[in-house]
Chains A and B, each alone.
Chain A
Amino acid sequence: MLFRKSILILSTVSFLLFANEEIIKNINQSLKEIENIATITKVNEPYQPYIISTFKGKDLEKLGISNLKEALELIPGVDIATDNIDNKTAIFRGSNPFAYGQSKLIVDGVEVNNIFFDSYNSFLYMPIEIIKRIEVIRGPGSKSDGINAYAGSIRVYTYAEHFKDLEKSYKNRVFLKAGSYDYKGAGFTKGYQNGDLDIFTDFYYQKDDKFISSGYDILSTGIYGDYNKQFSQNKKAPLWMDNYSLGITLNYKDFILKARHIYYKHGSAYGINYMLPQDKDHTKFLNSFLELGLKKDLDNFKIDTKVGVKFDSFYSNARLAPPGITVPNPLDNNNLVEYKNGFFGIHEAKQREFYHSLFLNFNRYKNHNIKAGYIISREETYKVVTKTTDRFGVLPGLVDYSQTYPFFDKNAKRDSLILSLRDDYNLNDDLTLRYGVNFEKSTHIDPQFNPRVALVYVNSDNIYKFIYSRSIRDPSWQELYTMNNSARRGNLNLKPETVNAFEIAYIKRFSIDNYFQFNLFYLLNKDQIKLNSQNIYENFADTDIYGFEMEYKTLIGQKSRFYGNYSFVTGRNSQFNYIPNVARHMLKAFYIYELNPELNLNLIGKYVGDKKRLPSDNRDKLKSWATLDLGFNYKSFKNRFNINFIVKNIFDADVRYPSEPYTYMEDYRQEGRGFMISFRKDF
């Protein structure tokens, strides 16, 4: 009897011990999964080996931020620049404002910079309603998994990102928006789950009728001769937009299929040749990608492989010069040709890219997390159309110059290989070392080794980071292959721009959401690319850029939140002692005051300092500007809807982005006072 009891007690005890062990194992496993998710979603961003700012879409929409571009305007050290076709781009820390591609945009893990300009303008208007999170990593320290970021990278995650362990379901919602310039927008997100199959889709459509005063166009400068000055126009530039996008993400077991198509039609802005176009003239940017991925977790080992194809095209249909303009005859410079009805053109270039990547992640060695892999790609142009008014002013209508006088090299092709290796080595609980190297080779450039070392030291809630990295920017296709164009010509002898970056950061973390960050940077840029006086792209100068950024996020009492950042940037150029077209001071802040749990009042303030011109530009420096936005957000917890109203730029500040010298002398004016109202309903 006693024996039986002993056996029973023993077996009960061992069962309980086993059960408890299982629970501990389960907790440990959950903690590990949480750590992975925290790292992926940058919840533990202060501990990451880069300089990073993360914003959540739902916080931004509550604040009244309308799209990705407006969100980026809040990031420390980031300014926005535009050009004559209103191809906007983010400028990081005073990086070359005339070059696209110094920053990369990665949407749901897919790099979306187009091949033609290496820009991502058409994605800047993604409505905030489909964005779950935006991570902006400043500096080339952002280089990871082989993606070749130069000045910074922007990672956008839509609500397709879904962690089954922590989120019950996908975000299903519809939204409607209306605002100034007759803006109208609508869209939805919808997820579907059935066993191992998950499908998520988002769609939006938006348009506006924006025209903004341009000042006199390039003809007023006399560059095209005194006679043509009389044809210079001063009117409102067509900056209207017609834009939609459909995205689909499909997960089945270890497979992921991602696809997106974006259509972006825009008024011809300030004209391809800097001469004001007609109101309905337009450009079209089309981007599509389809990517199939496999992610497999094995013991101490992960495989991540992708194969994909991207298509993008640039299309322009516009009047390129006004009626009456007279220019030298292309065949005989001693004679002139007058285009009585104006000069018109249709230009189209279609590109595609095929790519494949394979990365292996090993964590079998204690305290090491090693990732190694490669990316191979082929980019090529497969269609070029050039139709213009008869260059000799004889034939009526448009003449097809696609074969004889194309605006772009129809044989453009580039093969690239990137090999990448890195190791995250936890030296102890407080010290992490990340080191690695990218080897990069592509058509037109010599092989490049780009190393990277980052040390993160944690002392209680104080975090210190020391980062060195090197990166390159391959010339964009516009810089390489544009031809037969008076406004810009490519150059196949361009070297890549290079940067050696040194960064130091200190972070004081008050709680999971509240922190202070201070970081210093020193960037040694070489071979910056710019148009020269003959309108040919060239490596014109080296620039040293240095400065600092401060960021502070805190709760003020129970009812309000404050976020603010200040950035300072300065430096010198190998040709002159400063960096042109860059704001030395930028200050950005927002404040959210909860009037009650459902209603809050928001203020967003931005200050961008003045910008010195190039020495060859005789204009006064571009004036600084400051804007203030005021908004309200009402959220019904019960009925799960949200209404946001915001007045932007309430004091109607004169915001301008710099124009190229001797083009639009009054620079590129931006929106004045405006409003936006948004309605979002979650299901």
Chain B
Amino acid sequence: MKKILLILLIFKILIFANNYNDFLLKIQAKIYPKIILLDKKIDKKLVDGKIIVGIVYDKGDFFIANRVKNLIKSLYGSRLDEYEFKVVPIDMLNILNDRYSNFSYLYILKSIPDRFERLSLFVNRNKIVTFIYDKNDLKYGFLFSLDIKREPIIYMNKKISKIFDFNQYLYSIVRFVDEG
């Protein structure tokens, strides 16, 4: 029975896409790269001299990850300020299995709790700045999210913010939350 449930769960993850709000995707694609520029340790996070942002997706969300990549590309092209800039969709399993880990920053789409927990351990161990699609998923230990209330709000996870070093100006525009 457990095996069947496991197979069903895996099947569900492999096959079904999550639902995303198109407007939220667009504004996150617009704002998140700007936050990167406020990272004081940006130079130490370059990979081959480039800022590489991984769009982390579960299998069913490949098209969404690709869309986010295209959105960011259409807004910023291949340069972010003075840096070369690259956006790469990456299957979450590839990160969790340590097949790819060379990313400056990660933008994480939706997934299941177990994977988020494992991914959170990985990114915080490697001090990777993370941006998450769904604000409710900050609780797994990711750093930033952006949501629309009456106005757009940038959320920053207070608990893990200490291990990162951002320009102080950023703290004046984010709303801190105690999550994870």
Contacts and interface: CB of A to CB of B under 8 A. Distances in A.
Interface in B11-35: 12-13, 15-19, 21-24, 26-27, 30-31, 34-35
Contacts of B71: 168
Interface in A149-179: 165-168
Interface in B38-83: 38, 60-63, 71, 74
A637 B63 contact: yes
Q: Which secondary structure characterizes the binding site on chain A?
A: mixed
B33 to A, nearest CB: 10
A4 to B, nearest CB: 24
A594 B16 contact: yes
Nearest to A165: B30
A641 B134 CA distance: 28
Contact of A557 (B12, B22, B34, B135): B12
Contacts of B35: 27
A559 B30 contact: no
A150 to B, nearest CB: 28
Contacts of A594: 16-17
B172 interface: yes
Nearest to A555: B19
A166 B27 contact: yes
Interface of B: 12-13, 15-19, 21-24, 26-27, 30-31, 34-35, 37-38, 60-63, 71, 74, 110, 134-136, 147-152, 154, 167, 169-170, 172-173
Contacts, number: 103
Contacts of B18: 558
A406 to B, nearest CB: 52
Given A38-B148, A44-B151, A513-B19, A31 B31 contact: yes
List 4 A-B pairs, minimum CB-CB distance, nearest first. Answer: A597-B17, A47-B150, A559-B16, A35-B151
A37 B62 CA distance: 27
Given A555-B19, A597-B17, A38 B151 contact: yes
5 contacts: A30-B34, A44-B150, A558-B13, A558-B18, A594-B16
Contacts of A43: 21, 23, 148
Given A20-B169, A31-B173, 6 more contacts: A35-B150, A167-B26, A512-B147, A596-B60, A597-B62, A637-B63
Interface string A510-548: 011100000000000000000000000000000000000
Contacts of A38: 23, 148, 151-152
A575 interface: no
B45 to A, nearest CB: 17
A16 B132 CA distance: 27
A166 B26 contact: yes
Contact of A23 (B19, B30, B38): B38
Interface in A582-621: 594, 596-597
Nearest to A509: B149
A561 interface: yes
Contact of B151 (A21, A31, A555): A31
Contacts of B169: 20-21, 23-24
B65 to A, nearest CB: 12
